[in-house]
């Protein structure tokens, strides 16, 4: 029996061992789904503290319960390790590692390349390697394929190489790993067949595309589509604000059109690991073809401006009360990048706090997901989360709703705060004591 047929057979009868490299917001939900349907999973991560927590049945991601992790450990379906020499043990190696931007807003593939080079010497015939991280078109062919073939393994015959981008949406109760359609592409037809067998056993709908470059571009288009439309909504918010029009009422009215319009909502900027980052992977790659992606870059420029727009609103609101920003006490509600998640990556709240600190404001924050301000490369605040009760809120000159967590009591906040800067459209037009930002 060929390596391809043997691997597909093991995947279909659930005797294959699944290897997942990178145990974060993508890797952990994937692990839970594989174990849920009966596979054994070996997880890899370079962070020893994560390995120890997982092997002790603990979770470090808010929407993933400790009960779900502990259950996989107790039934001996999951084990985590930082020993990449064990990469020859599983039948699959699914790469779910970060692909951020560097300080020049260029792709940083160091996490991906380090992971591939860590597992490559231990690869064996009969394995599938699949990349889920978002990246520019050509990465799978140009960065992964040569490093695997360097080990003397033939792609499509010995080892099967696939690109299948993640589509996780943390805190989304409707769409989970199992029911989000999965894009899948292989370097060869054989690779695609193995990839379909891998994901078809855990996900309801597989969407095969012709090649890995197409799949890589598909993922970028998904997030660029959101970035551009959010950028448009943010620009419309600035214009509507200047004209004295409630942009949320405008969007709600426009959304009654049953065709040709999809509502996107403005905010204080973009956050998360995808939308602020992914468009610039295509911008960077397009330069290789002599192209300048003006539309994408303009949306990015607008979205990056939004924290400054919020700060300008704070300055004006305090000035109207004859108070300078310098020395004013300001409470930022929510430092996660979106509602009801414990992920601070690229959160616009961080930039808002940085800008206010530069102006001399005395800052505090409140977020139910962060007892202490998280460790960040660019943003450093030695702060603890403030309990958002009436007694505390009354102490501040200004309260900024930066992330609209559902746990917050917005009626209490409205009644207690002196000034509210609402960046998320929490309050309706006819309510008082708030300023839209």
Helix 212-243 and helix 279-287: axis angle, to 10°? 120
Query: Residue 170: pLDDT band by 50, 70, 90 thresholds?
Result: confident
One domain, residues 302 and 161: no
Task: Tokens 């599983």: give the residue.
Answer: 90
Within 10 A of 235 (CB to CB), how many other CB atoms are there? 18
- How many structural domains comprise the chain? 2
pLDDT tens-digit map of 287-303: 999 999 999 999 999 99
Q: Is residue 215 part of a domain?
A: no
CA distance 336 to 342: 6
Question: At residue 429, does pLDDT exceed 80?
Answer: no
> Which residues are bridge partners to 182 per DSSP?
206
pLDDT at 308: 98
Q: Which residues fall within 8 angstroms of residue 21, CB to CB, at 6 or more apart?
A: 27, 43, 44, 45, 93, 94, 95, 96, 97, 115, 119
Does residue 96 have an active-site annotation? no
The answer to whether 143 and 109 are in contact (CB under 8 A) is: yes
Q: Measure CA 417 to chain center.
A: 32
One domain, residues 326 and 422: yes
Q: The CATH number of the domain where 328 resides is what?
A: 3.40.50.720
One domain, residues 202 and 261: no
Query: Residue 24: pLDDT band by 50, 70, 90 thresholds?
Result: very high
Q: Which of 51-55, 352-356, 425-429 has the lowest mean pLDDT?
A: 425-429
10 membership: H or E segment, kind and range? helix 3-12
CA-based end-to-end distance of the chain: 64
Domain residue limits at 430: 246-436
Within 10 A of 27 (CB to CB), how many other CB atoms are there? 25
Residue 289, Cβ density class (10 Å: 0-12 exposed, 13-18 middle, ≥19 buried): exposed
Q: What are phi and psi for residue 224, nearest 5 degrees? A: -65, -40
Structure tokens at 151: 């080990």
CA distance 415 to 114: 52
One domain, residues 201 and 251: no
The pLDDT of 325-340, averaged and rounded, is 97
One domain, residues 22 and 138: yes
Kindly report the pTM of this predicted structure: 0.93
Q: Of 210, 230, 257, which residue is a domain's last?
A: 210
Cα separations in angstroms, 204 against 10, 35, 198, 406: 19, 16, 12, 30
Question: At residue 272, does pLDDT exceed 90?
Answer: no
Sign of CA dihedral 116, 118, 121, 125: negative
CA distance 243 to 266: 16
CA distance 43 to 40: 10
> Which residues are bridge partners to 384 per DSSP?
372
Q: Strand 435-436's sheet: what is its strand order?
A: 362-366, 329-333, 398-401, 420-422, 435-436
Q: What percent of the chain has pLDDT over 90?
A: 92
Q: Is residue 91 part of a domain?
A: yes
pLDDT tens-digit map of 360-391: 999 999 999 999 999 888 899 999 999 999 99
One domain, residues 410 and 277: yes
One domain, residues 44 and 180: yes
Q: Of the listed 96, 184, 274, 398, which one is catalytic?
A: 274
Q: Of 183, 210, 237, which residue is a domain's last?
A: 210
pLDDT at 148: 98
The answer to whether 278 and 134 are in contact (CB under 8 A) is: yes
Q: Measure CA 284 to chain center.
A: 20
Q: Is residue 188 part of a domain?
A: yes
78 membership: H or E segment, kind and range? strand 78-81
One domain, residues 118 and 259: no
Helix (H, G, I), strand (E, B) or coil at 375: coil
Nearest to 385 by CA among 410, 408, 352: 408
Q: Is residue 218 part of a domain?
A: no
């Amino acid at each position: 029996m060929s390596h391809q047929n043997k691997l597909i057979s093991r995947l279909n009868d659930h005797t294959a061992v699944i290897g997942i490299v990178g145990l974060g917001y993508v890797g952990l939900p994937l692990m839970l789904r594989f174990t849920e349907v009966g596979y054994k999973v070996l997880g890899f991560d370079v962070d020893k503290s994560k390995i120890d927590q997982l092997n002790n049945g603990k979770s470090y991601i808010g929407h993933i319960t400790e009960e779900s992790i502990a259950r996989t450990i107790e039934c001996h379906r999951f084990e985590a390790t930082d020993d990449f020499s064990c990469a020859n043990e599983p039948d699959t190696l699914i790469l779910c590692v970060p692909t951020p931007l560097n300080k020049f807003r260029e792709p940083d593939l160091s996490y991906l390349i380090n992971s591939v080079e860590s597992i490559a010497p231990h690869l064996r015939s009969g394995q599938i390697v699949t990349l889920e991280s978002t990246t520019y078109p050509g990465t799978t062919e140009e960065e992964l394929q040569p490093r695997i073939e360097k080990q003397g393994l033939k792609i499509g015959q010995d080892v099967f190489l696939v690109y299948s981008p993640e589509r996780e949406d943390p805190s989304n109760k409707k769409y989970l790993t199992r029911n989000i359609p999965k894009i899948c592409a292989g370097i060869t037809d054989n690779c695609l067949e193995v990839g379909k067998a891998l994901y078809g056993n855990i996900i309801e709908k597989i969407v095969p595309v012709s090649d890995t470059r197409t799949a890589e571009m598909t993922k970028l288009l998904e997030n660029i589509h959101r970035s551009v439309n959010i950028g448009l909504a943010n620009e419309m918010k600035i214009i509507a604000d200047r004209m004295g029009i409630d942009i949320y009422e405008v969007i709600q009215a426009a959304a009654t059109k049953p065709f040709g319009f999809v509502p996107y909502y403005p905010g204080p900027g973009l956050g998360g690991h995808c939308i602020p980052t992914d468009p610039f992977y295509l911008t960077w790659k397009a330069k290789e073809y002599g192209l300048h992606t003006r539309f994408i870059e303009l949306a990015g420029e607008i979205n990056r401006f939004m924290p400054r727009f919020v700060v300008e609103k704070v300055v004006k609101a305090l000035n109207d009360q004859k108070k300078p920003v310098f020395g004013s006490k300001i409470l930022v509600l929510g430092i996660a990048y979106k509602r009801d998640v414990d992920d601070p990556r690229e959160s616009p709240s961080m930039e808002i706090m940085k800008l206010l600190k530069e102006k001399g404001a005395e800052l505090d924050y409140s977020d139910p997901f962060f007892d202490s301000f998280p460790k960040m490369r660019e943003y450093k605040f030695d702060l603890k989360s403030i309990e958002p009760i009436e007694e505390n809120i009354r102490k501040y000159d200004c309260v900024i709703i930066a992330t609209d967590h559902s746990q917050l009591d917005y009626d209490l906040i409205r009644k207690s705060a002196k000034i509210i800067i609402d960046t998320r459209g929490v309050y309706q037009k006819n309510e008082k004591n708030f300023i839209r930002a």
